[in-house]
Structure 1
Amino acid sequence: MTILIGIAVLAVGTFAFRIAGPALQARIQIPPKVQNLMTIAAAVLLVAVVATQALTQGHSFAGFARPAGVVVGGVLAWRKAPFLVVVVAAAAVTALLRLAGVP
């Protein structure tokens, strides 16, 4: 029963956060500097998640093959390659390096 109450509380909290943006948009003015900072913070958070996933496996270094694949995928995405090409190229680079014995 406690789990169901916890789930309900989290669901209500999530809904409240999601509805607060449109409901308060007309009442609160966010300065342009804060909006710019929030945009930069979102990008930094995304880079941190990608770096953590690319460089670590469990509690240790993931090896060189995975980061190389992520770099290839990042460069192709930056060059605006189609998503399928980005994913396949990143996976292929990682697989080929592992096949060659690179950890």
Structure 2
Amino acid sequence: MMLIGGIVALAIGTYTFRWLGPALRSRIQFPERAKRLLEVGATVLLAALVAVETLPFTEGHVGAALPAGVLVAGILAWRRCPLLVVILAAAATTAGLRLLGLA
């Protein structure tokens, strides 16, 4: 029962936050500096997530295949290639290097 209560509470909270954004958009104005900090913060958070998940910081991540795939994806995204091309090239790079034994 406690699990179901937790799921319901999280669902209600999620939908409340999703509803409050558009509902309060015209009532709350953030200063330009705050908007810029939020944008930069989101970029930094995404970069940190990519770094933690792809670079060999832990024993479970060994080898150069995954970082190489992410590097290929980053370069293609920077060159504004279509998302499907970026994903397929990164996956092919990672798979190819793993097939060659670079894990």
Q: What TM-score range do you get, normalising by the shorter chain?
A: 0.7 to 0.9
Aligned residues: 103
Residue of structure 2 in register with 1:23 after alignment: 23
Between the aligned partners of 2:82 and 2:32, the Cα distance in structure 1 is 33
Taking structure 1 as the reference length, what is the TM-score of the superposition? 0.86
1:102 aligns with 2:102: yes
Between 1:64-73 and 1:16-25, the stretch displaced more is 16-25
Between 1:13-22 and 1:92-101, the stretch displaced more is 92-101
Contiguous gaps of at least 5 residues in structure 2: none
Q: Is the 8 A contact 2:54 2:61 kept in 1?
A: no
How far 1:28 moved relative to its partner?
Answer: 1.3
Residue of structure 2 in register with 1:87 after alignment: 87
Contiguous gaps of at least 5 residues in structure 1: none
How far 1:49 moved relative to its partner?
Answer: 1.2
How far 1:95 moved relative to its partner?
Answer: 2.3
Between the aligned partners of 2:59 and 2:12, the Cα distance in structure 1 is 35
Between the aligned partners of 1:102 and 1:59, the Cα distance in structure 2 is 15
Residue type matched to 1:15 in 2? Y
**RMSD, aligned α-carbons:** 1.9
Q: Is the 8 A contact 1:55 1:63 kept in 2?
A: no
Deviation per CA, 1:6-34: give whole Å up to 9, x if none.
Answer: 11111111111111111222221100100
Between 1:57-66 and 1:6-15, the stretch displaced more is 57-66
Task: Report matched runs for 1:1-103 at 5 Å.
Answer: 1-56=1-56, 59-103=59-103
Q: Is the 8 A contact 1:64 1:102 kept in 2?
A: yes
Identity of aligned residues (%): 50
